[in-house]
């Protein structure tokens, strides 16, 4: 089945500082990191991925000291509601801002925590009941 997105490349003011934040967040979701000359990326292998699995989709950050956060929200898929809860508890310690739990606004099968990274980029970790 074709994917809708190939990648997301988010702008951050300080790549080193942002990498610490995203490492802390995305490691909980099982992501692996690749540091390039101009950007840092993370990939999340599927649970049944073979040892030689290669990512075709990724999330990345690129440094832009003049960046201004927009209104777009990037959502990361969590394997369970418990993972969403664990991340929600962990977010203040890693510097997330404006943390809000989903209060059923998208229906009973949707469970999420909404927040911003230290640069003000809007993020979400969600589990959609299957």
- For 105-120, the pLDDT digits (tens) are 888 899 999 999 999 9
- Are the beta carbons of 100 and 115 closer than 8 angstroms? yes
Distance CA 43, CA 35 (A): 12
Asked whether the predicted pLDDT for residue 1 surpasses 60, the reply is: no
Residue 92 in 3-state DSSP?
helix
What does the pLDDT look like over 11-32, one tens digit per residue?
999 999 999 999 999 999 989 8
- Whether pTM > 0.85 for this model: the answer is yes
8-state DSSP, 75: E
Residue 83 has pLDDT above 80, yes or no: yes
pLDDT value, residue 56: 73
Asked if 115 contacts 124 with a C-beta cutoff of 8 angstroms, the reply is yes
pLDDT at 50 over 80: no
pLDDT value at position 49?
A: 72
Domain 7-128 has CATH 3.10.180.10: yes
In this prediction, residue 95 carries a pLDDT of 97
């Amino acid at each position: 089945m074709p994917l809708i997105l190939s990648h997301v490349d988010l702008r951050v003011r300080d790549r080193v500082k942002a990498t610490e934040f995203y490492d802390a967040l995305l490691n909980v979701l099982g992501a692996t990191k690749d540091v390039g000359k101009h950007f840092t990326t993370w990939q999340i292998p599927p649970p049944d991925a073979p040892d030689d699995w290669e990512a075709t989709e990724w999330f990345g950050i690129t440094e832009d000291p003049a960046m201004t956060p927009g209104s777009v929200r990037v959502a990361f898929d969590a394997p369970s509601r418990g993972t969403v809860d664990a991340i929600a508890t962990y977010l203040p310690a890693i510097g997330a801002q404006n943390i809000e739990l989903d209060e059923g606004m998208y229906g009973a099968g949707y469970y999420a925590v909404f927040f911003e990274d230290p640069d003000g980029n809007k993020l979400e970790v969600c589990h959609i009941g299957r």
